[in-house]
Amino acid sequence: MTARNQTRTRFAPSPTGHLHIGNARTALFNWLFAKHHSGSFILRIEDTDLKRSERSYESSIIDDLKWLGLEWDEGPDISGPSNHYRQSERVDIYKEYAERLLDSGSAYLCYCTVERLRELREKQQSNGIPPRYDGRCRALREMERPKDINPVIRFAVPEKEVSFIDGVHESLSFDASTFGDFIIVGSDMVATYNFAVVIDDALMKITHVIRGEDHLSNTPRQILLYEALDMDIPLYAHLPLILGPDKTPLSKRYGMASIKNLREDGFLRDGIINHLCHLGWSPDKRLLSIQEAVDKFTMKRLSRSPSIFDIAALKRLNRDYLEQTDTDTLVKMTRLHLKKDLPYAWLKDAIRAVRGDARTIKDIALLLEPFLGEPVYNEDAIKVLEENHVKMLLKALFEEVEKKEKLSVDSYKDIVNNLREVTGKNGKQLLMPIRAALTGRLRGIELENIFVLLGKEKVIERLKRYITGCTP
């Protein structure tokens, strides 16, 4: 294999769904590796699955990658030496290289029907033999070729050991005779994944392929294709899969694992990036800047063990980044999650008051809900408000609030101290009914902040409506 000077990695998603955590990690690790080595990161769209591929998913994936900050040097929207970065635009290229393999005898036309292949597979399984193609059409003469069947093109797999050094698993070896001659071009003349990816990676001069270990069984097949075409073989690194909470492989169907859903739920880019960094890599630091991640990233610290996508851990990380984010930025982000426009100054003060209790931008918006309209009383709050002492307590609160010119943290403390003396109540018996009456909830931000954000007029209004029996 000829040595190459510049490191070139790629991310090649199929546009059959939104970008999920597993693919986002693959993109991130390829991007970090390229940037660490001052190389290039290429985006390629693998859309040969014509039935399931959609341009809307491609747009969504591209949008999420840009939002994550994983910009590429070449891709569908950035011209490069390869010109075309969608597999659907490279059909003629695959045809050319398939013909080369046919001409060299490394591939052949196969006319076996679906029924014949099914019977072969069932017979092998019944005899306890791993299913594989038996090579029947390898030596088929011209006169024996059916005229009414569109053939597939199969690669003639040589009997040999395929060995390579993996960036995660180190030395690996596979017996090629167990594969059977696999299809590289279907009867519809569409190149299969294993064939197209080899041609693309070779022509785009990809030096390192970092991908999930679900592709590990594809690697020996791809190496054989590289050898048959006399093309440079990239270095491979196969990452252990990311598991869901149930310890099964994380699936596109697990909704929270979609970058789109995480964005909609108000997670910050830096929080997501950091959680991804800790899924299969040990950077020796909990909170990383993107530049620190670039500086630290090497294959030596990649794990061989599966990682768990932990939404609770992601929320903890996200909370740390919320605390580091300036309030003006949070105001801009929070507005996207609010149903009504609010005065900038009030919203800024409100976010300062609630941000300590939030883990996501969406949490901030939810914490602000009781202040944006009439409170909606949940069942727990209603139960508290039905306790015998509550109406007396809230009447006393009403009287204390009326005495104050303005509500502030200090005036709140005075009000609560006076209520203790007047009512004889303390702790939850004192504070829970107040929170329930003012917000309709038993949980939320500090009571003193609730008083300040609502202001005297709204506090009195809400207390009056409850005392007069209009609420809940």
Please report the pLDDT score of residue 125 as a whole number.
Answer: 92
252 belongs to the catalytic site: yes
The reported pLDDT for the residue numbered 472 is 53
108 - beta bridge partners?
Answer: 154
Q: Check if the beta carbon of residue 361 is closer than 8 Å to that of residue 334.
A: yes
Selecting among 252, 315, 348, 464, the annotated active-site residue is: 252
The pLDDT, as a whole number, for residue 3 is: 43
Per the omega criterion (within 30 degrees of 0), is the bond before 81 cis?
A: no
Backbone φ, ψ for residue 265 (5° rounding): -85, 5
Q: What is the pLDDT along the chain (472 residues), one digit of tens a residue?
A: 334 579 999 999 999 999 999 999 999 999 999 999 999 999 999 998 888 899 999 999 999 999 999 999 999 999 889 889 999 999 999 999 999 999 999 999 999 999 999 999 999 999 988 899 999 999 888 777 888 899 999 999 999 999 999 999 999 999 998 989 999 999 999 999 999 999 999 999 999 999 999 999 999 999 999 999 999 999 999 999 998 877 887 765 555 689 999 999 999 999 999 999 999 998 988 899 999 999 999 999 999 999 999 899 999 999 999 999 999 999 999 999 998 888 999 999 999 989 999 999 999 999 998 888 888 889 999 999 988 888 899 999 999 999 998 999 999 999 999 999 988 888 889 999 999 999 989 988 889 999 999 999 999 999 988 787 655 5
CA distance 168 to 173: 14
Rounded CA-CA distance 351/364 in Å is 7
pLDDT for residue 4: 58
For residue 438, which of 421, 419, 457 has the smallest C-alpha distance? 457
Closest by CA position to 312, among listed 362, 353, 247, 256? 256
Please, what are the domains in the chain? 1-74+240-324 (3.40.50.620), 329-467 (1.10.10.350)
CA distances from 465 to 391, 450, 451, 470 (A): 12, 17, 17, 5
The contacts of residue 433 (CB under 8 Å, 6+ apart) are 384, 385, 387, 389, 390, 393, 394
